[in-house]
Amino acid sequence: MTRPKERFAIDLTSEGIQRYVGDKMRAAKHVVERFEERHGTPYHCALSDGELGFSVHHKAAMHFKIGSTAVFLFRNL
């Protein structure tokens, strides 16, 4: 992903985590909806503050941490 997309994703995730404290599902939905508004569909987001395993085929992806929350944002075409 480009730097502007990365920055946007980090900002959205931080906003979602703060807005939906303790509700990772709603925070992830917030990230996906806002990201898709700007960058098209389909994007997917996984948030976890514990163990998370996944295997996906993706075209564009990024992963990062905000505090203790791991974030995986990807586009699956």
Per residue in 53-62, pLDDT tens?
A: 665 656 677 8
Q: Are 42 and 32 in contact (CB under 8 A)?
A: no
pLDDT score of 4: 94
Does position 46 have pLDDT exceeding 60, yes or no?
yes
CATH assignment of the domain containing 44: 3.30.740.10
pTM confidence score: 0.79
Residues 6+ apart with CB under 8 A from 30: 12, 15, 16, 19, 20
What's the number of domains the chain is made of?
1
- Full residue range of the structural domain in which residue 16 is found: 3-75
pLDDT score of 58: 62
